[in-house]
Structure 1
């Protein structure tokens, strides 16, 4: 009978500094795991297991939602639905990429950084997907056809490039300047989110001021609440910061960060669908609509640029073996 030997787990003092997480004392995987060891660890309780599953399962959920909605909304043939299709594709890509990054991040030091480079690139692309959907369905009436509306998606493409570059760069000072690294990484994702949400925030402001009764507004509020929680949990490292070692396997901040992010995306998706349906006739009559080339083209351009940025930072990891940067990355 065949038996599989699960990889041995290590404590925080047995792994290089680059693999350590604040407040997590045990459950670490081997820092030079094979690809098979990484796959086996998915079915072994480590401090990364729930990080993997909390994004792997939602990726399939969003894919299922995409195919289910493709019939009711006619995503493939109706030009009105194409921005939503572009958005949904990014909703499928980012949790799947994150799951893969967490799965294979212990193959080597360089592999860890490259895995998270792709993770950051996918998150940046999701930000652009959100901007495309907001541009098509969520913009307030007063801003339709305005100069800001016209340059909104191109700026979001630029923000995606900046976000990918800044977040990838943030891994280099991680050992010597962890606070700077954390600040840069947060800025890389908070800024695009805030920019994308300008039209939504304005609608929420107007609704609060005029006491509107749009049924979609509470769903938008729920998305904003979970977006805030996602950011707060990522920055605060709670609860493991208060009780190191108590939440090594279940309940640490990265798991909660994943869960809040996915719930926030779910409410965002539901709100966008509601706006699509409720505002369709008015939007089609009053707004020049994004073509398939503008919606999918923006995503494609963003992905190509992000891959180029990831490639450049990946080359930097392997160039100049004796450089100070590489010494920092391998620091124990």
Structure 2
């Protein structure tokens, strides 16, 4: 037995050594042949971020370069890796939950599966946007429009999970008729606002661009989080001890912090050029948004496991399945909106090149 354990430790040690050598192998091999990053004046105005002066990837390279830039040091590296690691964490946590809880595919589990799918969708779209947007102006718009589709998908996936697993009975009695339709409409409006702002306004961006992005997304969040906020307040008044409520509180805390860094270019505003690779506001936004997602995931899993009676007494299988179909309808609507504006951008760019 001791020999087997020692062999396992030895294997792990060798694997760890190989992983440590991997970045050096990349640098001496594939990455050595890749173009170096450039300064802000060397890329078109569209790709420049305020107060970020270096670490940009050159445009008009082949796709292989942008995929391999996952392992290169540039000003989008942290943005990519934060969401990539969170996506892996979501997959591993849900796999562990399925294996330990005896997960069964039925009406009760459909909103949970859609929530997991929505989380992975927004994380994947974000990863692709930050990894591949530097290819060209059209690629920049295309992948950011895709990112906005992912965000609205995640918003509605969260609304489904909160509605079916996390809501208190008193909240449900008042909001059940309008909550999901409202969440779907606001999720679509959030995508429309972000896509339109990206399409309509050029750098230097006016304040109206941020308003178009933040107002619809903010309204969607306020509605989506309302069952959770109500439950937290009720729990505080009743002095209950509920682990899920603690995780729900944590997700709101992390989201508020992430929203601040999304809206304000800090700390790079105070250190121009000093936060180019690590430490600028959008990276901090990604970090706290990832923590928000993981906290929310834990809360939803706890609610799913411990609140079956709330689900079975409120919702019938047929109505639940019908409601969940709206998840895919929302994706179709947001993707169609993004595609329409992408075509408008494509026409504009083609006219500019003539």
| TM-score (normalised: structure 2) | 0.85
2:127 is the alignment partner of 1:99: yes
State the shift of 1:8 in Å.
2.2
SS of the residue corresponding to residue 139 of structure 2 reads helix
Show CA shifts across 1:166-205 (max 9, x none).
1101112132543221222222322211110111112222
* Aligned residue-pair number: 324
- For 2:195, which of 168, 171, 176 is the aligned residue? 168
For residues 6-45 of structure 1, the aligned pairs below 5 Å read 6-45=34-73
**Residue segments in structure 1 that go unaligned for 5+ positions in a row:** 328-332
- CA–CA distance in structure 2, aligned partners of residues 320 and 109 of structure 1: 11
Q: Indicate if the aligned counterparts of 2:107 and 2:321 stay in contact, CA closer than 8 A.
A: no
- Can you list the C-alpha shifts for 1:75-94, whole angstroms capped at 9, x where unaligned? 45232121111101111111
Q: Partners of 1:15 and 1:248 in 2: how far apart?
A: 15
Q: Work out whether residues 114 and 157 of structure 2, in 8 Å CA contact, stay in contact via their aligned partners in 1.
A: yes
Please state how far the C-alpha of 1:24 moved relative to its aligned partner: 0.8
* CA 1:282–1:191: 2 relative to 1, 3 Å: closer
What are the within-5 Å matches in structure 2 for residues 265-304 of structure 1?
265-288=293-316, 291=319, 293-304=321-332
Distance 2:236 2:303 in 1: 18
CA contact (8 A) 1:7 1:41 kept: no
1:152 aligns with 2:152: no
In the TM superposition, residue 220 of structure 1 has moved relative to its aligned partner by 1.2
CA RMSD of aligned residues (A): 2.2
Contact 2:110/2:321 (8 A) holds in 1: no
Which deviates the most, 285-294 or 104-113? 285-294
Judging changes above 3 Å, is the alpha-carbon distance between structure 1 residues 69 and 300 closer, same or farther for their aligned structure 2 residues? same
1:178 to 206, 227, 233: 206
Q: Which has a greater percent of helix? A: 2
Moved more, 165-174 or 308-317: 165-174
Q: Answer with 1 or 2: which has the greater Rg.
A: 2
Correspondent of 1:135 among 163, 170, 181: 163
Q: Which 4+ stretches in 1 moved above 6 angstroms?
A: none
> 1:255 and 2:263 equivalent?
no
User: 1:70 — aligned with what?
Assistant: 98
C-alpha distance 119-81 of structure 1, shift in aligned 2 (>3 A): same
The reply on whether 1:49 has 2:74 as its aligned counterpart is no
TM-score (norm 1): 0.90
**Matches of 1:253 and 1:70 in 2, distance apart?**
36
Check if 1:241 corresponds to 2:269.
yes
